[in-house]
């Protein structure tokens, strides 16, 4: 891997060197490094681009890194990664995509990640997106996440897209069985003329299932964001979604929540708040000696931390 690719890798996966545990690193459309463990296998798909990650039942405290980096301008790819997590596991999965585009052609990574999570398993899934390079070609990422949560399983999903991605359409859908729990935290910042659309569809099918979708976003310059969330309560369940957005400059944010209770004991809540940075927050930090610009940066960084 070259320096640009190494830098992307550090940005999206925090990796300076090869990680411990299982990993698969994909660079410019090819798998360049791979490691498996006694409990986690990674197999290349034969019918399409992508890999199967198979985690044996009972696997605890192990991690899988599957970062993707693109530094070749004009490269477009569509990748399917399927995760089969057995029963009674406790694992961390770190994905992420970095695109460096210094050319004039668009670079695009579309990925579909499907999770099949077994009973009583806990999965922490972290996904970071990052773009760099000063070419006219756009950096485009369209991640799709499909989650099937088994009985009493728990998935924590953290997604972060802070810099450099010109256009993104992120879609996440989940189905939850009895007692399953899903927590999603999304951090998003757009600038320039970027557009970002993020949509969630959660089916709370199981008795006692619960979902909490928390999105925090900042839109600056002329960027445009759309947040869509649909939660269907199909059983005794609890669902909560929250969209908190800060707009700056000429940016626009729309939040379109939808909650549907199809069961008498479904408890569903949606909260959304969009607005500019509160003036008294800036004033407070200025009374501590920060300039207006420093105060603004502090508030935005804190909000997205």
- Binding residues (CB under 8 A) for another protein: these are 216, 244, 278, 280-281, 283-292, 298-299, 301-305
Residue among 216 and 252 whose Cβ is closer to another protein: 216
Residue among 256 and 286 whose Cβ is closer to another protein: 286
Residue among 226 and 304 whose Cβ is closer to another protein: 304
Distance CA 1, CA 215 (A): 34
Question: Is the dihedral angle over the CA atoms 120, 57, 212, 207 positive or is it negative?
Answer: negative
Smallest distance from another protein to CB 225, Å: 17
Distance CA 132, CA 6 (A): 13
The b-or-e profile of 91-125 (16+ CB within 10 A means b, else e) is bbbbbbbbbbbebeebbbbbbbbbbebbbbbbbbb
CA gyration radius for the chain? 20
Residue among 42 and 299 whose Cβ is closer to another protein: 299
Residue among 233 and 245 whose Cβ is closer to another protein: 245
Smallest distance from another protein to CB 284, Å: 4
Distance CA 114, CA 148 (A): 8
Smallest distance from another protein to CB 228, Å: 22
CA proximity to 8, closest of 142, 130, 138, 147? 130
Smallest distance from another protein to CB 212, Å: 16
Strands (E) located in 71-208 = 76-85, 90-100, 107-117, 122-132, 139-149, 154-163, 167-176, 181-190, 195-204
13: left (phi over 0), alpha (psi -120 to 50) or beta: alpha
Residue among 85 and 213 whose Cβ is closer to another protein: 213
Smallest distance from another protein to CB 286, Å: 4
Smallest distance from another protein to CB 283, Å: 6
Smallest distance from another protein to CB 303, Å: 4
Residue among 4 and 285 whose Cβ is closer to another protein: 285
Give the total residue count for the chain. 305
Smallest distance from another protein to CB 254, Å: 20
Output phi, psi for 291, to 5 deg. -75, 170
Q: Say if CB 72 and CB 28 are below 8 A apart.
A: yes
Residue among 112 and 248 whose Cβ is closer to another protein: 248
């Amino acid at each position: 891997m070259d320096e640009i690719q190494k830098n992307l890798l550090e940005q999206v996966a925090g990796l300076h060197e090869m990680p411990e545990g299982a990993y698969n690193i994909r660079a410019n459309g090819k798998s360049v490094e791979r490691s498996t463990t006694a409990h986690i296998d990674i197999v290349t798909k034969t019918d399409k681009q992508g890999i199967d990650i198979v985690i044996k039942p009972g696997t605890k405290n192990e991690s899988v890194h599957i970062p993707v980096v693109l530094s070749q301008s004009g490269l477009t790819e569509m990748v399917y990664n399927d995760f089969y997590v057995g029963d009674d596991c406790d694992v961390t999965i770190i994905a992420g995509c970095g695109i460096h585009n210094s050319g004039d052609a668009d670079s695009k990574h579309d990925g579909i990640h499907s999770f099949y999570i077994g009973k009583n398993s806990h999965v922490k899934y972290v996904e970071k997106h990052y773009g760099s390079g000063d070419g006219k070609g756009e950096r485009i990422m369209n991640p799709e996440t499909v989650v099937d949560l088994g009985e009493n399983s728990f998935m924590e999903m953290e997604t972060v897209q802070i810099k450099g991605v010109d256009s993104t359409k992120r879609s996440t859908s989940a189905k939850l069985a009895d007692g399953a729990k899903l927590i999603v935290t999304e951090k998003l910042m757009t600038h320039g003329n970027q557009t970002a659309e993020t949509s969630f569809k959660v089916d709370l099918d199981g008795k006692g299932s619960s979902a909490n979708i928390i999105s925090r976003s900042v839109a600056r310059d002329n960027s445009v964001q759309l947040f869509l969330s649909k939660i269907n309560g199909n059983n005794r369940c609890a669902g909560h979604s929250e969209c908190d957005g800060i707009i700056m400059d000429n940016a626009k944010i729309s939040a379109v929540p939808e909650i549907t209770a199809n069961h008498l004991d479904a408890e569903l809540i949606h909260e959304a708040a969009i607005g500019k940075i509160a003036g008294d927050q800036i004033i407070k930090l200025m009374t501590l000696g920060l300039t207006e610009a420093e105060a603004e940066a502090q508030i935005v960084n804190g909000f997205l931390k």
